[in-house]
Structure formats: C-alpha cells, structure tokens
Amino acid sequence: MESGGSFNTKRKYTTKAPTSGIVIGATTNIPAVASDANVQQFFKRDADQYMPIANIIRIMRRTLPVHAKIADDAKETIQECVSEFISFITSEANKKCHQEYRKTITPEDVLSAMETLGFNNYIEPLTIFLKKYHARDSHSSSQPTLLVKRNMSYLRQPTAEMARPPPPPPQPPFTMAYDPMQLPNTHQMAPPLPTPSIPLPFPMGYCPTQLITANTMDYGSYIEFSQMKDYYKENQGGGEGSSSLLEFHPFEPFK
Amino acid sequence: MRQPGAYSKLVSGGKSGPHSLPLARIKKIMKNSSDEVKMISGEAPIVFSKACELFIEELTKRAWIMTLQAKRRTMQKEDVASAVIDTDIFDFLVNLVSHDSANTVRESDQPQES
C-alpha cells in the first residue's frame, strides 16, 4: 500500500495555512486578496471534488437502522472517503492502462483494479450490475444484443463460414462442443434463429454463442440474449425439425 | 435458477432510470485523480456509481459497529476513523481520517445537513 498523501492532491489547498477553516472574520492577518481566493477555493472545492452529500446521506440511511443518527462530520468524512476511493481505484486502473499501452479506462480496468486493491467483494455485484445495465440498454434499442462468452474466431465471419461445408450437425439428443453447464443464464439447447434484422446463416443445432456483435463485452462466463431468449426457451430439448419458427434447413442437401 | 439472494436489490430493485450518483461528478473526480488520466470509457463512471454505493454501505456498516461498541446511537467521525483503521482495504483512507481529526477547524464551509 502506498504510504503518504492522498490521491486527490489537487484538492488540498491550504490545509496547514492559517487561512484554513473559518473564512468569515478570520482575515485580520491575511491580505485581502489571498483570503478572497481562498474563499472561492473552498466553495469550488466542495462542488467539484465530492459527491453530493444528499446522495451519500441517502445511501447511509438506508444502510443503517431506522433509529440511527449520523453526525454531520461523519457524513462529511464519508463524503471525502468516497472521493478518495474513486481516485484510488482510478489511479490503479490508469496504471494498468499505461502498462498495456491503452489510453481509455474501461470498466474491466476498474474491476481489475478493485481486485488488485482488495475490493474483491465488489466485483461480483458490479459484474451483475453491468450485465443488467447492458440488458436494459439493449432492450431499449431495437436490435437484439448477443454478448459473447467464448472467443471462437472461426465463427466471426458468417458469410465466409457458409462457403465452407459445415461439420455434420449433432444428432438429437444434442451434444454440445463445449459444456454449457458452466454458463449461468444460458439455455442449453439453443439453435440460432435468424431474425429479419440479423441474418444468421448458421444451421440449426449450431451453438450461437460465438457470434460477435458491436455490443460485445466479455464479462467471463455468461451469455445473455435479449429478444432471442424466448426463442431459445421454446427450442429447449428440440432437435432438428423441432422449430416451428424457421423454414431453414441448410443440411437438407447434405443428408 | 439460483437466485442471488445477497444481491436481491440488484435483481429486483435495481434502478432502471438515472443512476444514484451523478456520473459527471464521478468523471470529474476520476480525471482529477491524476494528470495521467486521459480518457475514460462511458461506462466506467457507471461502474463507479455502483461501486461507490457499495463502498458507502460497507464503510457505514463498519462505522456503525464502532458506534454500537461505544454504546451510542449517533455515528460520529471517530467511528468512521476507527472503522477505517480497523479495515485493511481502507488503508488508503488512514491519512485522510487521521489528518482530518488532527485539524481542529473544518476546512469546508458547506451547509450542514441533518
């Protein structure tokens, strides 16, 4: 752990100067110009550098018992701690970005920084939160979003894929190429179903999980389908010919 | 399907609308953390808004334990300081809480809220 000063060094203006503290009236031994500047700094500092105290108080109150009371200086201390927390994690995330020659701090960097700094407990709830956030986002947009679990590059170009003869489809009961049991929220029997907006030339019985779209973010082992969820439920346990939703049988000529 | 009970708030009570903490402010604080911070993805502040909630909850609970140990019902700054000192992962806050308590006069002049 780093010893020494805070990460928010910019906000420590006059911590030890005689002008710190009460601003009104305590200017007898200070030039007027300096005290004015300090007044402005104090007000500006609180607005910019901290989270709004009302939000913080709300979160505190819902965490504590109903009868609990909180002293004002305790609230302010927590307010400062939150800013310090953000700076601390951001610095670590930024360090990681630098090491990997990247310029943009991503959510993954933040999560990885938290793990490095000991906040492992936060990672799972944050991952779930991000997942739900993406689910809401994709629901509000009109396109279905597929989040990729595995990185199987041979399925990146569907059109190229169609040109090659596909391997024989698994006969029912399905045997998957990988074990979907590892994945929470996944539907085991999940043939991809083309919709009008996404032309998926995959034959029935193929695992759809390697399709990569622009909204891909890799969060580890889960798959999420928005619009397609219901399709997959319907097809669970189905084999060839089980779908009434599709008239697509690319393997007909191969049989 | 297994229900994540510990995170039930996330499953059932998660906010679908605006986030609890202002994203622009979070971004500002992130940028101020160091001169080297150049670009921040749009979703990083969103992760932080939730992370700060978790942080506040944890720090508050730990401080409240200290309050109860002192047989009080009002959480004081010293309870927060004790919680920080007591917790390893809050080591980065040790200077902040002890530095503040060493200052006899508060630096900020913001309106007091109850």
* Touching A: B residues 1-30, CB under 8 Å: 1-2, 4, 7, 10-11, 14, 16, 20-22, 25-26, 28-30
Q: Which has the higher per-residue pLDDT, B33 or A233?
A: B33
What number is the average pLDDT over the span A158-164? Answer: 49
Tokens (6 digits) for A90: 């951001």
Question: Which parts of A33-172 are beta strand (E)?
Answer: 69-70, 104-105, 146-147
The stretch A14-26 carries a mean pLDDT of 44
Instruction: Mention every residue, 6+ apart, whose C-beta is less than 8 A from residue B79.
Output: A74, B63, B64, B66, B67, B70
Residue A185 to residue A225: CA distance in whole angstroms: 9
pLDDT of residue A126 exceeding 60, the answer is yes
Which residues 71-110 of A are in CB contact (within 8 Å) with B? 71-78, 80-91, 93-94, 98, 103-107, 109-110
Please state, as a whole number, how many other Cβ atoms lie within 10 Å of the Cβ of residue A163: 7
Is residue A147 within 8 Å of residue A224, measured between CB atoms?
yes
Q: Within an 8 Å CB–CB cutoff, is residue B112 touching chain A?
A: yes
CB–CB of A144/A198 below 8 Å? yes
Q: Which residues have a Cβ under 8 Å from the Cβ of A169 and sit 6 or more positions away?
A: A203, A204, A205, A206, A240, A251
Pick the more confident residue, B92 or A38. Answer: B92
Give residue A253's pLDDT band: very low, low, confident or very high (50, 70, 90).
low
CATH code of domain B23-99: 1.10.20.10
Pick left, alpha or beta for residue A212 (phi over 0 → left; psi -120 to 50 → alpha; otherwise beta): beta
The pLDDT score that the predictor gives to residue A136 is 83
Q: Is the pLDDT of residue A113 over 60?
A: yes
* Residues in A touching B64 (Cβ below 8 Å): 63-64, 68
Is pLDDT above 50 for B100? yes
**pLDDT, tens digit (0-9, with 9 covering 90-100), for B7-62:** 555 544 444 445 678 999 999 999 998 888 889 999 999 999 999 999 999 999 99
Give the residues across from A105 on adjacent strands. Answer: B40
Tell me the shortest Cα–Cα distance from A50 to chain B, in angstroms: 7
Contact by Cβ (8 Å): B87, B62: yes
Pairs of residues, one from chain A and one from chain B, whose beta carbons lie less than 8 Å apart? 242
Q: Across the interface, which of B34, B52, B75 has its CB nearest the CB of A68?
A: B75
Query: Quick one: DSSP state of residue A25?
Result: T
A41-138 — its CATH code? 1.10.20.10
Q: What percent of chain A has pLDDT over 70?
A: 36
Q: What is the pTM of this model?
A: 0.54
